[in-house]
Structure 1
Amino acid sequence: MTRTLFRLSLPLTLVLVIFSGLLTACGKNTTRNSLGLAMEALDEMPAKVKAAPVMVQQAYQFNAANPEIMKQFPCYCGCGSMGHTSNYYRDLNGDGYICMKPLPFDMHLHVDNSLP
């Protein structure tokens, strides 16, 4: 009897874990652009991103909504000492900087207004 319960509960547990992960992903405030790419809503972005040029806003929106893609691209801007390991970086160290290299120019956008 116990073995039968275990055999039934294991698949059910796996289904619940997968389903909860899907619900968490669906809860994120993302939209799709005209190309069908996932983009985080602009109202979720820091004020300095909102004030940046549209191309910069879109780069940050894509970065925020697609960590699984952005983590595949190493960062070459020399910010490794700040803990940056890839082009996906959302202020993990609390230093107020987000590194974005997939732009035609290097950019370290200071997004924490409390820092100088």
Structure 2
Amino acid sequence: KMRKMVFLSLLLLLLLAGCTSSPQQTVTLAADELLPPFLTSATPRVRDAYRFAVANPDTLAHIPCYCGCGNMGHTSNLSCYVQSPAGDGAVTFDEHANGCGICVDITQDVMRLSAEGQSLWEIRTYVDAQYSPFGPSTDTPLPPQS
């Protein structure tokens, strides 16, 4: 009976290993310590979105936001997290995404698709298709085609 259990466990393990999709790439996140105090009680999902924004500004600068924040002067999904970075490397955070599920959902999708190895162009196409029903986008430049 024990032998059968070990065999079934190994078989299940092999089946699960065979079901995994393409290898995941790592997504770079900024250190948690870099986050501002207003995020202390935020969910890990929101904190990770802010950490991604700090570490990947060139990515999010090409991803629009569809929450209606364009009238606040936002120009991309990055603007929901970070105001214009200072020349000395200091980051001035924007609190907007801390209270906006659409901003965080977009960033989480960007993180997931990046980890799956999608190009920035493919990610932008996905975000536009997925979120355009929510409303007008920010006026965000398209990513360079590779």
- TM-score, structure 1 as length reference: 0.51
Q: In 2 relative to 1, CA 35–42 (structure 1 residues): closer, same or farther, beyond 3 Å?
A: farther
Match of 1:39, SS state, is coil
Counterpart contact for 1:70–1:88, Cα < 8 Å: yes
Higher helix share: 2
Matched, 1:103 2:105: yes
Identity across matched positions, percent? 33
Counterpart contact for 2:63–2:77, Cα < 8 Å: yes
Aligned-pair Cα RMSD in Å: 2.6
Report the residue type matching 2:105 in the other structure.
L
Higher strand share: 1
**1:64 aligns with one of 51, 54, 58:** 54
Return the alpha-carbon distance in structure 2 between the equivalents of residues 67 and 85 of structure 1. Answer: 12
| Structure 1 residue runs without a partner (length 5+) | 1-33, 105-116
Counterpart contact for 1:38–1:62, Cα < 8 Å: yes
Return the alpha-carbon distance in structure 1 between the equivalents of residues 73 and 27 of structure 2. Answer: 28
Q: In 2 relative to 1, CA 59–95 (structure 1 residues): closer, same or farther, beyond 3 Å?
A: closer
Q: In 2 relative to 1, CA 53–102 (structure 1 residues): closer, same or farther, beyond 3 Å?
A: closer
**1:74 aligns with one of 55, 64, 82:** 64
| Structure 2 residue runs without a partner (length 5+) | 1-23, 85-91, 107-146
Q: In 2 relative to 1, CA 65–77 (structure 1 residues): closer, same or farther, beyond 3 Å?
A: same
Q: In 2 relative to 1, CA 96–57 (structure 1 residues): closer, same or farther, beyond 3 Å?
A: closer
Q: Structure 2 matches for 1:30-69, cutoff 5 A?
A: 36-69=26-59
Report the residue type matching 2:55 in the other structure.
A
Report the residue type matching 2:76 in the other structure.
S
Match of 1:103, SS state, is helix
Matched with 2:83 is 91
Which protein, 1 or 2, shows the higher relative CO under an 8 Å CA cutoff with sep ≥ 6?
2
CA deviation after TM superposition for structure 1 residue 53, in Å: 0.7
Match of 2:78, SS state, is coil
Q: Once the two structures are superposed, what CA deviation does each residue of 1:9-54 show, in whole Å capped at 9, x if it has no partner?
A: xxxxxxxxxxxxxxxxxxxxxxxxx952111111110112232011
Say how many residue pairs are matched: 70
Return the alpha-carbon distance in structure 2 between the equivalents of residues 70 and 95 of structure 1. Answer: 14
Counterpart contact for 1:71–1:88, Cα < 8 Å: yes
Match of 1:68, SS state, is helix
